[in-house]
Amino acid sequence: MILVVDLCYRDGSLSRDEFVAPVERILCRAETPFLTRHYTAVGAPDLKSADAAILCGTALMDTGYMEQPELFRWLLSFERPVLGISSGMLALAAAFGGGTEPCCEIGMVDVNVLAPDPLFAGQEVFPAYEVHEHAVRVPGEFVALAASDRCVQAIRHRSLPLYGLLFYPEVRNEWIVERFLGLAARQSP
C-alpha cells in the first residue's frame, strides 16, 4: 500500500484536487492500493502498513507545512521508498537538515539528468512542469540526480530509496511516478 500524503493548507482543501487527486489517479490506473492522509493526520498504523510514501505538492503560497517540521520526522526512520514532489521534496530535504534557497521557476523547464539512477534511466534531458519559489540545498546524506539551468531538480538519499523532485511528474511525466511505483513494488516484502 502506498501512503499518499496531502501537504495542502487543510484537510479537504480546495487545493486537494490539484495536487493530490492527479497522483491518486496515477495510482488507480496502475492498480496500486493507496491510502491518503493529510500531513497533520499521519499516524503510526498508516506508516506501519505503507510500502512506500508519496508527499504531494502544494500551491505556491501554501507553505504552512514548513512550519510544522515535527510532523515529518517519521521520514527519518521510514526507510521504505519515498517520493517527495515539489513541496514534498522541500519537506523531505528539511527532515534531513536540508535548507532552501530562493529559485522561482513557473512553467515548462528542461531538466538535465546528472547521475545514473533507475528513476531516470535512459533519459538525458526532459521537459518538466514547475511551480515553485524555492529550491533545496541538498542535505549531506543526499545526492543531486538532476538539475535545470537554475537549480537542483531531483535528489536521492545516498543509501535509502528516498527521492525528491522539484517539478511535478504528474504533469507530462507520469512515467517517473510509474517507475517509482515499480521500485516500491520490488522493495515490498
Provide the binding-site residues for another protein, judged by CB under 8 A. 12-15, 17-18, 21-22, 25, 59-62, 104, 106-108, 129, 131, 133, 170-172
Minimum distance from residue 111 beta carbon to another protein (Å): 14
Q: Which is nearer to another protein, 51 or 130 (CB)?
A: 130
How far is residue 131's CA from residue 106's CA, in Å, rounded to a whole number? 4
Minimum distance from residue 21 beta carbon to another protein (Å): 8
Q: Which is nearer to another protein, 45 or 107 (CB)?
A: 107
Q: Which is nearer to another protein, 100 or 185 (CB)?
A: 100
Q: Exposed, middle or buried, 174 (CB in 10 Å: 0-12/13-18/19+)? A: middle
Q: Exposed, middle or buried, 44 (CB in 10 Å: 0-12/13-18/19+)? A: exposed
Q: Which is nearer to another protein, 14 or 125 (CB)?
A: 14
Task: Give me 114's grid cell.
Answer: 546528472
Q: Which is nearer to another protein, 9 or 74 (CB)?
A: 9
Minimum distance from residue 127 beta carbon to another protein (Å): 10
Task: Provide the total of helices (H) and of strands (E) in the chain, helices listed first.
Answer: 6, 9
Minimum distance from residue 4 beta carbon to another protein (Å): 15
How far is residue 52's CA from residue 189's CA, in Å, rounded to a whole number? 11
Minimum distance from residue 52 beta carbon to another protein (Å): 21
Nearest CA-CA partner of 82 in 174, 168, 157, 189: 157
